[in-house]
Structure 1
Amino acid sequence: MNFWHIPWFIFPYLLLIFIFIKWHKKSNKPDLFFKLAYGSFFYLFLYLGVIEAQNKSYFFLVPLLFFVFFSSVYSRQKARLINGFLFNLFIGTFGIYLLYNFFITYDVIVFALLFLVGIFVAIVGLFGFVGLMVLFYWNALVVIRRESHSLANLLTLILAILMTAWLIYDSMIAKMLPNWASLLLSILPVIFSYFIFTFLNFLSASILYQFNRPSYDQDFIIVLGAGLVHGAEVSPLLANRIKRAIDFYYEQRKHTRHLVKLVMSGGQGPDEKVAEAVAMKEYALQRGIQAEDILIESNSTTTFENMKYSKEIIDQSEVKNPKVIFSSNNYHIFRAGIFAKMAHLKAEGIGAKTAFYYLPNAFLREFIAIIAMKRKLHFTFVGILATLLLLSAIVSQMFVL
């Protein structure tokens, strides 16, 4: 491996990063991370293309095309499940390409990238299925101690039990069954594997959405409501949503002085003394937001209605072609973005932090809701898989007879 050209790769890159950050600070735009990520990927592809071209090979174009395709789809609509699939497809293709590149170039920088990927894969491999199962049991105990015992808060426990059952079946029971019975019972693990695959795509898409950084020229910030404590008090979860919106409110005033209004969105539940939006407004007033900068939407009972009814209020304003964002908890903004599109509201989300122990259950709950939104598509595909396995079991039994 040759080391002489490493400075020619590192120093220009660091210089370009330094110049870009200096320029970006003057622009008062918050989307630094994505621009750095995109620029870094294209710089890396340029480098890989140059060293590969010396061997008269141009396979770097394959992952590059996957990256461009993902980027074009993602830029048009960030809240789409397909974004996670395309990103994972790019990462997989890029990993295979790095292996190919190293075997034809023996480049030290490519080796370093493979080494970092190898460490990650090794950690995941060591943690493995059993480690993940133990983690879910631990998380379930923490959630049970700190939160209510509702079904939504027991999802990691249910998943851990299912994983335990799968492990017992695969290691003990499957070996004792005839071939046709194993094929028949494999329907459940195959379905489980399909939903794991879909969950990984959802998780990637949702994590990508966390890096959304809207520009400081917004006209409205919709704050999505959540349940109140004792029927009238803002809960810690809801408080984080409001604080995130207030932070952006002050950041925009600092950077551009562009006026922005908060739309508090949330109706009154059967166990609540006041509408969520009213309690949210009071919370914001106590933190220095002027009353004239707060609008109330108090009819919604779902996230879709949050978007729909807030859009009606925004449409009644005098602002032409208003720029809108919404604030919710980080695990929720991806699905909320889908509802915004369904309500014909052009808006992107900013996420408030959530307690780490709460995230596994929260993301599982969001995933179940995403599956429910497209349940016909997913269960049709699952039905096809189950039918194929059932036919295989029947054919296997016929040959035995």
Structure 2
Amino acid sequence: MAAFALPALFFLALCVSAFKDRRRFSNAVLFGLTLLTFSAALLYQVTALPGWAALTIIGLAFAAPTLGTMAIAAFLIANGMTMVRKEGTSPATLLSLLAGLGIFGLIALLIVVPMFHSPVLNGMAATLTLVAAYVSFLFLCFLGYAFLYGRIRVRGDVDHVVMLGSGLVGGDRVPPLLASRLRKGQEIYVAQLARGSRPPVLLTSGGKGSDEQVAEARAMADWLIAEGVPQEHIAVEDRSRTTEENMLFSKEIMRSAVPGYRCVVVTNNFHAFRAAMMARKAGVNGQVVGAPTARYFLPSATLREFVAVFWEHRAVNLSICGALVAVGALATLTVR
């Protein structure tokens, strides 16, 4: 049982950290380390099984990641082609396609490089694999914890439901992606009323873009009023241009209305965990919930969110990647 001491420690650290604040990225890393060390502990216990059973489990343990990686790469390429067909070509829409091609490219590299019998090429391939493994681990941490965070339900009374803007169609119309956020906010509003609570204020947040005729917040408020929400239960924050500003300017309005406010922030599900980290950074007192998104859009959107989170923590991430490259270079020189 000593093999499970390390995963138990990571799990305890995760519980303590999540209890303090569920919106930390460190929670995602602790979640990933818990699963990784727990899996390693289970494999260690395999030695107690009969030989045939141990070999079968070990074989599956190594075959599943390989086959799974290839399946994920194929899925990303297929999804990337769907994104290009439906959304056009842009860096954001090409992410899943490029990720899938990158995975297959790395697999091909690991197959071809040993054929040249070059210590330098082998070292470079090994170093690239180390960096890819680190980034992949972080992505799986992000994906797994974001999924868990998205399952958290709204509990208790809230004073405000903040809905983040995402751009208008034709300069003044609410698109389907934004409408899903508004419906989610309206659902929370109705649920609060059903509890017999004081009606929360629906706070629409979003400024006027250069290609828009009205502020996003104004168009969102008009959409809610058309859906039957009383105008006196709606507030508008129409200055923000970024998610960070959404949080900061909305916080000002909420604190002015209710100094000890509690809120829920609504965005789309792929954006919920990153928005929660931004809410924590801005000092917003509340959780973030996600509205449904078209399935074909999720892979690229999730990859985009991860890239943004990775870059927001670039000091740590680039330092670790640099250290891995240095270790790989030193090992290559030593072998030569």
Instruction: Note whether the superposition's TM-score is higher than 0.5.
Output: yes
Q: Deviations over 1:328-379 (max 9, x none)?
A: 0011011111111111112211110111121110110000000111112111
Find out whether 1:79 has 2:23 as its counterpart: yes
Q: 1:159 to 1:337 in 2, by over 3 A?
A: same
What aligned pairs does 1:301-316 form with structure 2 within 5 A after superposition? Answer: 301-316=241-256
Native 8 Å contact 2:32 2:137 kept in 1: no
Which residue of structure 1 lines up, in the alignment, with residue 167 of structure 2? 227
Which residue of structure 2 lines up, in the alignment, with residue 365 of structure 1? 304
Per the alignment, in what secondary structure is the counterpart of residue 250 of structure 1? helix
Which residue of structure 2 lines up, in the alignment, with residue 237 of structure 1? 177
**2:33 counterpart letter in structure 1:** L
Per the alignment, in what secondary structure is the counterpart of residue 348 of structure 1? strand
Which residue of structure 2 lines up, in the alignment, with residue 47 of structure 1? none
What aligned pairs does 1:1-400 form with structure 2 within 5 A after superposition? Answer: 63-95=7-39, 124-125=64-65, 127-317=67-257, 319-397=258-336
**2:213 counterpart letter in structure 1:** K
Q: 1:92 to 1:183 in 2, by over 3 A?
A: closer
Native 8 Å contact 1:228 1:272 kept in 2: yes
Question: Which blocks of at least 5 consecutive residues in structure 1 are unaligned?
Answer: 1-56, 106-116
Shifted more, 207-216 versus 258-267: the winner is 207-216
CA drift of 1:282 comes to 0.7
Q: 1:59 to 1:145 in 2, by over 3 A?
A: closer
CA distance in 2 between counterparts of 1:92 and 1:384 reads 21
CA drift of 1:123 comes to 9.4
Q: Please report the RMSD computed on the Cα atoms of aligned residues, expressed in angstroms.
A: 2.8
CA distance in 2 between counterparts of 1:238 and 1:300 reads 16
**1:208 counterpart letter in structure 2:** L
Q: Deviations over 1:161-211 (max 9, x none)?
A: 212221221112342141123213433222222111111111122111111
Native 8 Å contact 1:209 1:334 kept in 2: yes
CA drift of 1:64 comes to 4.8
Per the alignment, in what secondary structure is the counterpart of residue 233 of structure 1? coil
Per the alignment, in what secondary structure is the counterpart of residue 157 of structure 2? coil
CA drift of 1:59 comes to 7.5
Q: 1:271 to 1:121 in 2, by over 3 A?
A: farther
Native 8 Å contact 2:17 2:27 kept in 1: yes
Q: Deviations over 1:93-151 (max 9, x none)?
A: 4455567789989xxxxxxxxxxx99x96994574222222111111122122223221
State the identity %: 31
Q: 1:264 to 1:168 in 2, by over 3 A?
A: same
Which residue of structure 1 lines up, in the alignment, with residue 53 of structure 2? none
Native 8 Å contact 1:241 1:352 kept in 2: yes
Per the alignment, in what secondary structure is the counterpart of residue 165 of structure 1? helix
TM-score normalised over the length of structure 1 = 0.76
TM-score normalised over the length of structure 2 = 0.89
Native 8 Å contact 1:323 1:347 kept in 2: yes
Native 8 Å contact 1:216 1:256 kept in 2: no
CA distance in 1 between counterparts of 2:6 and 2:123 reads 37
**1:383 counterpart letter in structure 2:** G
Native 8 Å contact 2:182 2:224 kept in 1: yes
Which protein shows a greater Rg? 1
Native 8 Å contact 2:162 2:266 kept in 1: yes
Say how many residue pairs are matched.
331
CA distance in 2 between counterparts of 1:308 and 1:353 reads 25
